[in-house]
Amino acid sequence: MDLELRDDDLAFRDEVRAFLDANLTPALRVAGSRVTSVFCEPRYSLTWQRILHARGWAAPSWPVEYGGPGWNEVQRSIFAAECARASAPGLAPMGLRMVGPVIMGYGTPEQKAHDLPRILSGEDYWCQGYSEPGSGSDLASLQLQALSDGDDYVLSGSKIWTTHAQYANRMFCLVRTNRDGKPQAGITFLLLDMATPGLTVKPIITLAGEHEVNQVFFDNVRVPKANRVGPENQGWTVAKYLLEFERGGGSAPGLKVGLDRAAGIADVAGADDRAHRRRLAESQIAVTAIDMSERRVLSALASGNPPGPASSMLKINGTEAMQRIDEISIAALGPYAHVEQMQAREAGSNIEPVGPEAGLTAMPRYLNNRAATIYGGSNEIQRDIIARLVLGL
């Protein structure tokens, strides 16, 4: 395993740093640093995506033929780490990291020609319609009905927890096209327009008071069969392919930023007791271990080996470390953590924060990150994977 950066990697890192210095505006940095969940609002993330797209860097993992920059794994990791360090707004993964690779792998030539350039440029903003009320971890039990009618499917039912459905103009979703046999064998993967008649989006407001997720209702929504990805009833294969991309991506760079933030809060809030310093040190050790594990996986990937169950271990460790860091920040802020400051934390707001600046985001981050051990495959499910594939239980 080779963990050291080579001279050409260091030169690449300097090139990325220079680009970020020149192009990441102060407003975008503020927006990036005040994001309280994994998703940044599209008015910022799409602005940054357009800047990256103009440089050819919007989709680090896409093949060159579809507009990717042709980077290797190490370069992609350097780019992600530098973007986190500079507080660049995160780009929404639903187009670039989820449905984009699926269309490359399973889409028709027409879908590739139409959808891929629009994902890359940010012209289309996507949401993911997988989960349903009653079908989350047990995704194969999904019920959204798609009846065949000539050249269309007619959809009835509902999707839930659909992140940013209120902004999206496109959705990729799983529908039920057959109820006989194994549940996995009757699922189909569709692409649809959010403006289709019969489709309504209802907000779900999170504990942090934010509108990020939604429930989407389908009342006889017609979707052309030409929008199907892969054969009818073969959607499960397509869905599993997508989940590999959903779980990808290292968390150490973001955790280091969070740890620095927590340490900074401790300084300004005067929380310098021994217990507090010990908790910070424990998290520092955990993040260093995650960083090393991610580099090990990266090194394996660079040699052509898949991450396997290591991605489950990293999901568990990364999300639990994130939650511990949030707890440290809340404890350090004391009463300032409890002041609701939604308007003051808007990028561009001129409202003075009550208490330390970090108090603007600590509590909503803490509340939003409770979901991190649930979404993207809950941590209990990841532990099951480790039990089966690593421990042979």
Ligand X SMILES: Cc1cc2nc3c(=O)[nH]c(=O)nc-3n(C[C@H](O)[C@H](O)[C@H](O)COP(=O)(O)OP(=O)(O)OC[C@H]3O[C@@H](n4cnc5c(N)ncnc54)[C@H](O)[C@@H]3O)c2cc1C
Select 130 or 336, whichever has its Cβ closest to ligand X: 130
Known catalytic residue at 352: no
Q: What is the DSSP letter of 249?
A: S
- Binding to ligand X (CB under 6 A): which residues in 80-139? 127-131, 136-137
* Min dist. Cβ of residue 213 to ligand X (A): 5
* Closest residue to bound ligand X by CB: 136
* Min dist. Cβ of residue 36 to ligand X (A): 12
Specify the 3-state DSSP secondary structure of 221.
strand
- Per rule CB under 6 A, is residue 374 in the interface with ligand X? yes
Q: Which residues pair with 176 in a beta bridge?
A: 145, 187
Exposed e or buried b for every residue in 300-338, given b needs 16+ CB within 10 A? bbeeeeebeebbbbbbbbbbebbebbbbbbbbbbeebbe
The interface region with ligand X, picked from 13-21, 323-331, 352-360, 370-378 by CB under 6 A, is 370-378
* Min dist. Cβ of residue 34 to ligand X (A): 18
* Min dist. Cβ of residue 41 to ligand X (A): 15
Specify the 3-state DSSP secondary structure of 228.
strand
- Per rule CB under 6 A, is residue 162 in the interface with ligand X? yes
Pick the binder of ligand X from 57, 62, 161, 245 (CB under 6 A): 161
* Min dist. Cβ of residue 93 to ligand X (A): 10
Orientation of helix 274-302 relative to helix 252-269, angle to 10°:
170
Select 72 or 137, whichever has its Cβ closest to ligand X: 137
Q: How many beta carbons lie within 10 A of that of residue 293, not counting itself?
A: 17
Dist. CA 212–CA 74, nearest whole Å: 32
Both tokens of residue 277?
């310093």
Number of residues that bind ligand X (CB under 6 A): 18
- Binding to ligand X (CB under 6 A): which residues in 185-244? 213
The interface region with ligand X, picked from 217-225, 233-241, 332-340, 374-382 by CB under 6 A, is 374-382
- Per rule CB under 6 A, is residue 154 in the interface with ligand X? no
Select 314 or 316, whichever has its Cβ closest to ligand X: 316
Torsion sign, CA atoms 129, 135, 140, 141: negative
User: Which of 41, 73, 232, 246 is an active site residue?
Assistant: 246
Residues 6+ apart with CB under 8 A from 74: 5, 9, 298, 302
Specify the 3-state DSSP secondary structure of 174.
strand
Pick the binder of ligand X from 163, 188, 234, 283 (CB under 6 A): 163
Q: Note whether 362 and 326 are within 8 A (CB).
A: yes
- Per rule CB under 6 A, is residue 327 in the interface with ligand X? no
Q: Note whether 120 and 59 are within 8 A (CB).
A: yes
* CA count, 13 A, side-chain hemisphere, 383: 8
Q: What's the Cα-to-Cα distance from 155 to each of 176, 194, 221, rounded to whole Å?
A: 9, 13, 5
* Min dist. Cβ of residue 212 to ligand X (A): 6
- Binding to ligand X (CB under 6 A): which residues in 28-87? none
* Min dist. Cβ of residue 118 to ligand X (A): 19
The interface region with ligand X, picked from 65-73, 265-273, 336-344, 377-385 by CB under 6 A, is 377-385
Select 318 or 355, whichever has its Cβ closest to ligand X: 318
Residue numbers annotated as active site: 246
Q: Which residues bind ligand X (CB under 6 A)?
A: 127-131, 136-137, 161-163, 213, 371, 374-375, 378, 380-381, 384
